[in-house]
Structure 1
C-alpha cells in the first residue's frame, strides 16, 4: 500500500484529501504546516507528498528545498497545491524539483491523475535503474571472472568452481605456481610479447595439469590450480610434470626463453576450509620454494609453518597483550578526491612484543581469530579508536570518521551491537563518526545473521563499509542484501591502473556502487596514474601510501594542522 503525506494548513482541504485517498486505498497522513510535514516525513516515510505552497512557519517551497537537500528524501515525488497562477511561482517550484502542480479548486480526477502519473513515472525510472544494474552486474561478472590476457579463469571464477568441488566432500589440493624471475624476463619483452609469453605458459599448464584440475591466473606470473583425487605419490608426480613442462623453451619475439617455476601446495580440508586461507597457505609454500633457489616444490605442513611451542607462546602472549599495554593503533588517512581534504582514518592494530619486537598483523590476527583473543583485542581497538576520535574533536580538529575493522568472530558474538552502543556512550563519540568495516569473506558465512547484526548497528547511526571488496568469493547479491554505506575497492584492482582489465573492473564497481547509493573508496593508491584514473572514473575517496602511510596520533594531528593552514 502506497503512503501519501498531505501538508495543508486549511483543515477542510486537508481532511477532504485524506478521506478521498483513504477510499482509493492509500495509507495517508496529514500535517498542518511545513515544519510538521518535515517531521512526518521522518516518521511516516511517504512514497509521495502533496503540499500547499503558502503555509505558516514553513511554506511549501521551504519543505521541498529541505527534502531535495537530503539524499534519503530527494527522490520522493512532490505535488504542489496552489491557489496562485503566477508563472513565477510555477517556475520557482519546478526549479526546486516539484513534479506537478494542482491549482485550487481541483477535482477528484485531477488529484488521482496526478498521483497515478507520478507513481507510473517513478516505476518506470525504477525499472530502468534495475535494468542498468543488471547490465552492470553482467559486465562486471564478465570482466571479473576471465583473465583478459590468458583467457583462463581468474580467482573469482575459480572460487565458484571451488564451492562446487568442496560440496562433493572430496579432498582438494591448491597448487600455487610462480614463475621464477618472471618480472625480469618480461621486462626484456614488449608488453605484447610479455602477454604472448603468458598465453604460452597458460597453454602448457592446461596441457600438463590433470584433466580434473581447475586453472586460473592470480596475477603477474602466478597461477593457481585446484586439483582433486590426488594421493601424495600422484601429487608429487604431477608437480614434477608441471615443473618439467615449464623448463621447456618458450619462443617469443624471436627469443628463446627458459623459465623455471616454484610451486607450493596445500590441501583442503586438512590445511584450511576456506579458499582464501587455503590459497594463502599454498602461496606461502611457493615463497618458501623460491627462497630455496627456485625450480622447487614445497608442501604445506602445519607442524613446520609454526612450531608448536612458538604457537603456544604466541597464543599465551596474545591473551595478555591488551592488559600488558603491548598493542597500539596507527591511523591511515582517507581523503576526499573532490576536495583533497582528510575526512576519515582507518584504525590499524599493531603488536610490539617485549621480546620478539613488532609482530605483523598477518601473523597474530588469524591466530587471535582462532583462539578467541580477537574478542578482547577487537573491543580494545574500538574503545581506543573511538576515544581518540573524540579527543581530536575536543582539540578542535576537523571531525574525522573513524574506521574500525570487525572480524567474523566478533560478528558472531551475541553482544556486538551492545558493545558498539556501550563504546559510543563511554567515549562520547557521535555515532555518525564511527564506520564499521567488514571484509567480503565474512559475508559468505551465515549471511542472514550478518545482515541482521549490521542492520542493528546501522540503526544506532553508525555507517557500515565492505572492506577489501573483490578479493573474496561472495555473490554480488550481497551488495543489495546487506546494509552497506561504503564500498572499499581492494588494492589488487587499483594496482597498475589504468591497466585495461583492472580499469574495466573498477569502472564497473564504481557504477554499481553509484546505482546502489554507496560511497566508494579506493585502497592502496600509490601512484599518480592510479590517482588520475580514479578521479576521472568518479571514485569518491582514496586511502594509500600516495597520500599517507599509517600514522601515530601525533602525526595525524600534525597532518590536520598543516591541512588547516
Structure 2
C-alpha cells in the first residue's frame, strides 16, 4: 500500500474556522434566550441553538474537507453524511439542554462539555466514514485520542465561558471569546483528527484529484450556512422587535407600559416638539372592591374594557399607557389646560357607563389628575408626580372628578413629603406629646375620664395637626409604635392622677385598623397596664365605625380578648356615615360616642330625632353614651333631656397637656 499525502488550501481553512466561530456565537446567543423564555418557549430556543450548532460543526468539517486535496478520487456517501449532520445536532441538543438551567453546576457543565465534544468527535469520524475512495484510512491511536481530548477540554472551556457571561449585558466581547473557544474545539478536533488519519492506496491504482459529488457537498454546506444565517436573523429580529414589544407593552391590554415612558417623554418634551404637553393620571375608584368581590378574572376584564374606552376617546397623536393595576397615564402633546380638562370630563362620562362582565352589570368611576408642561414641570418624573398629586386631590374631593395641579397642591405635596420623612425620626427625637380632653358627667358634675390624643411638635413647622400626620402614620405603619407609646404614656398618667387623689381617673386611647392588623394589640395593652400598675377597667380603647369595613371577625376576636381583661370598648364617631347597625350587637362594646356632627347641628329637628334614636338604641343595648363636641348650654340641656349625661367638648375643656390637666382638676375640685 502506498501512502497518500494531502495538502490544504489555507484560505479555505481560515474560512472553516470563521464558519465554526460564527455558528458557535449564533448558537450560544440563541440558547441565552432560554434564561428569559417561558417554559413553553424553552424547547424551541434549545432546538434552534442545537440546529445552528450542529450545522456549524457539520459545515466546518466539510469545508475543511473541501480544503484538503488528495491525489485520489473521492466521493461521499449521502446517507452517512446526513447521519453525521443529525449526530452533531443531537449532541448539541443534549449539551444545551444540560446547561439551560438558571444555575449550572459542575455536573451539568461536565455533561454538557462531554456531549458537545462527543458530537464534534462523532460527527467528524462519521463524516470520515462517509468517504468512498480507491484506498483506505488508518488512524494513529495516540493522535486520535489527542483529537478527542482536545474536543473535550476546549468544549468544556467554551461552555464554561458562555454560561458565566450569558445573562450579563455588555459582555459581547466575552461571548465572542466563548464562541472562539468553541470554534477552536471544532477546528482543533478536526485538524488533529485529520493528522491522525493515514491515507493509502494500492500501487498502480488510478489516481485523480477532487470529489466526484462535489456539488452535493457544496449544496449541503450552502444550505447549512443559510440555516445558520436565517436563525441568526430570527434571533436579531426577535431581540429588536418581539422582545422589545413584550418589554414595552402591557400583556393584558396591549397598551404601552411605564418602561417606555422615559423615551416618550424625552421626545415629547424636546425643543423640536415644542415642549407643550398635558399629562393625565387616571385611577379607577373602588376597583379593589370589585377585584376582591368578583375575582381577578373579572377585574382583568374590567381593565380590558376600560382600556378600550380610553383608546376610543383619544384623538390622533394622543396616547394612553397602563402603569399597572388600575392606573393609566394619558399624554396629550401640544394640549392646553382647556383641552386637557375637556378630555378628562369626556373620559369620566365614558368610564362611568355600565360594564357587562359575565352575568354582572358593573358601574365604576375614575379620578383624574392633570399636569401641564412647561407650566408645572419640564421632566417626566416631576410631571407624573404632579399629575399623581392632582389625582389624589380629585379622590379627596369626592372621586369621579378631575383636578388640575397648581402651586397650592405643590406646596401641600412638598409639605406631605417632608412630614413623611420627618415623621420617621420624630419618635426617636421625642417630638410627640399627649394631650387630654375631659369627659364630664353632667348630672354628677364631675370628670369621669380623659381622652388621650397624640400631638406632634415639629421643631421647624410647629404643632402639626393630627389630620395631617395621623394618615401619614397609617400609610407608613408608624401608627403602631405611636399607638404603643400613647397607650403606655396615658396609662402611666392615669395611674399618677389616681395617686394624686383623682380616684375615678380613666383614660381612652384611639385605635387604628393597622394596630389590629399587627396582631400586637393584646400584648401592647397588657404591657402598658402592667408598666403603669393601672387596673384594666381604668383603660378604654376607642374604635371607629370604619373598622367594620375590614375583617370584622378578627377585630371582634381581639376586642373580646381585651374586654375579658376588663378593658372597656367604645365606638367613636358613631353615626358618621358607615352602616354598622347590622354588626352593632356582635361587637363587644361598652360605650357609644355620638359624632359631633349631630351635636353641632342639634338645632335642626331631624338631627334631634336621630340623636334621640341613638340614645334610645344605646339604652336598649345597655351601653353608655358620650356626646362629643359639646360647646353650649343649649346642647347640654338637649342631651340631658334625651337621656345622655356624659359629655365631652370645649364647654368643659379643650385638649390639654398633663400640667394643664392638673390645674384644671384642681380648679374643678
TM-score by length of 1: 0.49
The structure where helix makes up a greater share of residues is 2
Q: Which protein shows a greater Rg?
A: 2
